[in-house]
Amino acid sequence: MKDYQCRVPEEYYEEMTGGGRLEEVTYDSVIYCGDKSPAKKRALVYLPAGYDDMSVGSYKVLYLMHGGGGNEEEFIYGQDRSLSLMHIIDHMIAGGELEPLIIVTPSFYYSAEQSTTHDITEAGMLTKFYHNEFRNELVPLIDSKYRTIPDRDHRAFGGFSMGSETTWETMLNCLDLVKNFMPLSGDCWIVEQKGGGTYPEKTSRMMKEYIADKGFAGLSYNVFAFTGDQDIAFPALDAQIKAMSADGWNSDADHSLRYGTWAEGTHCYQYIYEYIYNILPDVF
């Protein structure tokens, strides 16, 4: 079995000639986590090399959510604005390690104009509500504006830290829209803040009940979680995944929960990129 411990090759961090390009989309949404007042939202869209060649066809879409205090640019640009993730993805596609795909990086914060102060309780509320915008505004916009394959098998949602919490909430609420999930370094807060760690069995049970209540019980899923053993989210995510595994979440090819850890990985994008390099080819 693959152990998903390969390092991103050094040269993958360098810009590649003939790589993909970035666009941005802006759209009207509302403050779902509040008074439903209007909100202007923004997302970056990575289009792979060859996208402009109309004969190539349609693409899978990966949605990636940033962590607490971040914004829609953070995942792709990196905190140092070096565009590392875009370069890595370009190289992976060029090397045949990854099928071309579209990547969309939205934000769970209120609006594109508002600067964010990182309050973890507030972030926890926003991540819980984000799925509304995903379903009502973002997915319809992306599927109408770009040549996507608009079905659940060809959509994935992943995120880092509070974006991982968003990933779990998206799974619970939008399993009809998305089959594939990549929660990285963050547990599910359905019970309480960091409840995947404090109440792992209850978290697993409540997630199952929630999915059943939504009428999603029979749907297939493919979850690939990853974190580092020195990550502040390790205790919570590790406990949650172990409880989910014991609870039958990884039962067959159509109900798959995979999990990996990285020695000495801490809570930062540098390691998140290593995880994505290793697991993304197997996420769809």
Residue ranges binding ligand FER (CB under 6 A): 67-68, 120, 161-162, 164-165, 186-187, 194, 232-233, 236-237
Q: Rounded to a whole number, what is the largest CA-CA distance in the chain? A: 51
CA distance 170 to 187: 13
In the complex with ligand FER, which residue's Cβ is closer, 74 or 165? 165
CB of 173 to ligand FER, least distance (A): 16
CB of 184 to ligand FER, least distance (A): 10
Residue in this structure with the two tokens 């202007």, named with its chain if needed = 40
CB of 69 to ligand FER, least distance (A): 6
* Element housing 67 (H / E): none
CB of 92 to ligand FER, least distance (A): 26
In the complex with ligand FER, which residue's Cβ is closer, 164 or 170? 164
CB of 167 to ligand FER, least distance (A): 9
44 and 74 Cβ atoms separated by less than 8 Å: no
In the complex with ligand FER, which residue's Cβ is closer, 148 or 203? 203
| Strand 180-184, strand 101-105: pairing | unpaired
Exposed/middle/buried for 206, CB within 10 Å: 0-12, 13-18, 19+?
A: middle
In the complex with ligand FER, which residue's Cβ is closer, 60 or 194? 194
CB of 148 to ligand FER, least distance (A): 28
In the complex, which residue's CB is closest to ligand FER?
Answer: 68
At 188, list the tokens.
């599910």
151 and 61 Cβ atoms separated by less than 8 Å: no
At 96, list the tokens.
């045949």
In the complex with ligand FER, which residue's Cβ is closer, 127 or 278? 127
* Element housing 194 (H / E): none
- State CA 193 to chain mean position distance: 19
In the complex with ligand FER, which residue's Cβ is closer, 98 or 190? 190
